[in-house]
Structure 1
Amino acid sequence: MGAVWTALKYGVRFVIGLVIVSLFFLAFYRFFPVPGTTLMGWRSMQGEEVKYDWVSLDEISPHLIRAVIASEDFKFCRHLGFDLGEMKAAWEDYKNGEPLRGASTISQQTAKNAYLWPGRGPVRKVFEAAYTVPMELTYSKRRIMEIYLNVAEWGDGIFGAEAAAQERFGKSAKDLTKYEASLLATVLPNPNEWRVDPPGPYVRKRSGTVRARMNTVEAEGFDACVFKD
């Protein structure tokens, strides 16, 4: 019994410590730039040069904001962190024999990218949800988008919209055109395989769809929570 009691005490202490650390990071990232992520550290350990420049959301083109909403999370402004309809649709497709596809929202991706380790699995999904809920309750949608666009990976050790714009197009993120923004949003799901310089057939075709959806995002106000927060 002594060994069990000791293990239980250490387990409780670990959980309490984890909660305290998590709350610290949640509070810190609400107001201050994210200094780096686990994935950045992992890329650096693999020998890649990490390029990362934090900028405010005001220094990122509205085209890119609309492009990632159009491509990654059409209901970003209308959910509380989880798109239950998309999750249900993904599960139904899986049951019908299709490959299991991701149904993560921008909020979930932000939690994963900013706070957690790279990889997949049920344990990380639990932690992802555990960060997404308090983040949605305490951060503005504008702040979630700002973190997301600054820590997202765009391949070749490039992280964040500013570094991506500089490396791929030789300009600042605030000067990205609609076309350039749609290309960057298109490659986000697989940035180390899909290219924007030059884009392959799939990226060109998909980016055209993204641009059409961007028009809907703007016309229907699906970006209102970012620009009016």
Structure 2
Amino acid sequence: MIRKPLANLLLATASATALIFTSAAAAQADEPTPEPSVTAPPAAEEPVNPVIAEYDGRKINLAESWEGADSCTELPNGEVHCYDSDEEALADPELPAESRKETLKAASARSASAPPRGCVADYWCLYMDTGYGGRLLRLSSDGKKDLNEWGCRDNLGSVFYWVGRWALNYGNAKITDYRSWPVEDRVRELNAPADYRNFGNLAYPGGGNWNNKVDIFEVRRN
């Protein structure tokens, strides 16, 4: 037969243990659910359709490396050419003659509204650094561009777009940052003409900015 003092001690110990487990469970239930990652990882290790460009007399895979190229241009014939200088890019015989003409005219005017270095008329000019610096990608054709396939995912810092021929080059663009579920993708339109010098100053939905967050760049010739 257990004496009364000992029975009371065992009962108190059991009650204290139950209280500890109940408190721990309640505290765990009150903890906030961790927020998903800021940006969703690529769907696969390798891009589905890596962009193959012509550079310095050879073919290069932009998704893997630009191999020292300073800029690349998406041309009307569907090819992509990369260059070591802006002069070389502007002299490309596959570049539309009217775009070259308007670009040279703007450069000779040297006005305050002149486009930044390397930006060609009628092309969306994507710079990897803010302030129109770093590597430059010139896009023209309508549709979505997966920047992972161009070797530029999460690297976009500024965008400029100016029109030499309005009849052919109206429309706007849209940028997308893929987010992990359950957070919705972030989307923003870029109106034409575009002068977005610093994506660090471009407000991002929910707070922050767009610098180095763009996954998809969509040219919309509507």
TM-score, normalised to structure 2, is 0.27
Q: Which has the higher helix share?
A: 1
Which structure: larger Rg?
2
Structure showing the higher strand proportion among its residues:
2
Q: Which has the higher contact order (CA 8 A, sep 6+)?
A: 1
When the two structures are superposed, what TM-score results if normalisation uses the length of structure 1?
0.27
